[in-house]
Amino acid sequence: MSGIVSHITGARPNFPKAAPVLRALGDAGVPQELIHTGQHYDDRLSAVFFRQLGLPKPDIDLGVGSGTHARQTAAVMIRLEEHFTRSRPAMVVVYGDVNSTLATALVTAKLGIPLAHVEAGLRSADRSMPEEINRIVTDQLSDLLFATSEDAVEHLRREGVMEDRIHLVGNPMIDTLLANLDQLDVEVARASFGLPDRYAVATVHRPANVDDPADAVEFVRALHSVADQVDLVLPLHPRGRTRLADAGLGRHPRLRIVDPLGYVEFLSLVRGAVAVVTDSGGVQEETTVLGVPCLTVRPNTERPVTVTHGTNQLVTRAGLSQAVEAVLAREAGRPWPVPPLWDGKAGPRIAEVIAAALR
Question: Using CA atoms in the order 332, 283, 211, 221, what is the torsion angle rounded to 10 degrees?
Answer: 10
DSSP 3-state of 308 = helix
What span, in angstroms and rounded, lies between the C-alpha atoms of 292 and 336? 10
Task: Give me the least distance between CB of 201 and ligand UD1, in Å please.
Answer: 16
Task: Give me the least distance between CB of 117 and ligand UDP, in Å please.
Answer: 15
What span, in angstroms and rounded, lies between the C-alpha atoms of 255 and 334? 27
Stretches 16-24, 38-46, 214-222, 308-316: which one binds ligand UD1 (CB under 6 A)? Answer: 38-46
Residue from 130, 262, 291, 340 that binds ligand UD1 (CB under 6 A)? Answer: 130
Which of the residues 182 through 211 are near ligand UDP (CB under 6 A)? 203, 205
Task: Give me the least distance between CB of 181 and ligand UDP, in Å please.
Answer: 13
40 interacts with, out of ligand UD1, ligand UDP, none, CB within 5 to 8 A per kind: ligand UD1
Residue from 121, 272, 282, 304 that binds ligand UDP (CB under 6 A)? Answer: 282
Would you tell me how many other CB atoms lie within 10 Å of the CB of residue 257?
17
What span, in angstroms and rounded, lies between the C-alpha atoms of 244 and 236? 10
283 binds ligand UDP (CB under 6 A): yes
Which of the residues 188 through 207 are near ligand UD1 (CB under 6 A)? 205
238 binds ligand UD1 (CB under 6 A): yes
What span, in angstroms and rounded, lies between the C-alpha atoms of 197 and 270? 13
* H helix runs in the chain, sequence order: 14-27, 47-52, 69-87, 99-110, 130-141, 150-158, 172-180, 186-193, 207-210, 213-227, 241-246, 263-272, 282-290, 305-308, 320-329, 346-358
> Among 7, 155, 205, 237, which one carries the catalytic annotation?
205
Which of the residues 268 through 327 are near ligand UD1 (CB under 6 A)? none
What span, in angstroms and rounded, lies between the C-alpha atoms of 154 and 147? 10
Mask for 140-169, x = binds ligand UDP (CB under 6 A): ------------------------------
Would you tell me how many other CB atoms lie within 10 Å of the CB of residue 225?
17
84 binds ligand UDP (CB under 6 A): no
267 interacts with, out of ligand UDP, ligand UD1, none, CB within 5 to 8 A per kind: ligand UDP
Residue 82 or 259 with smaller CB distance to ligand UDP: 259
Cβ atoms of 170 and 343 closer than 8 Å: yes
Residues in the chain: 359
Active-site residue flag, 205: yes
Residue from 27, 42, 212, 246 that binds ligand UD1 (CB under 6 A)? Answer: 42
If we measure between CA atoms, which residue out of 11, 9, 65, 49 comes closest to residue 33? Answer: 9
40 binds ligand UD1 (CB under 6 A): yes
Stretches 23-31, 156-164, 215-223, 262-270: which one binds ligand UDP (CB under 6 A)? Answer: 262-270
Residue from 89, 114, 235, 347 that binds ligand UDP (CB under 6 A)? Answer: 235
What span, in angstroms and rounded, lies between the C-alpha atoms of 289 and 283? 10
What span, in angstroms and rounded, lies between the C-alpha atoms of 21 and 132? 23
Catalytic residues: 205
Residues at the contact surface with ligand UDP, assessed by CB under 6 A? 12-13, 16, 203, 205, 235, 260-261, 263, 266-267, 280-283, 286
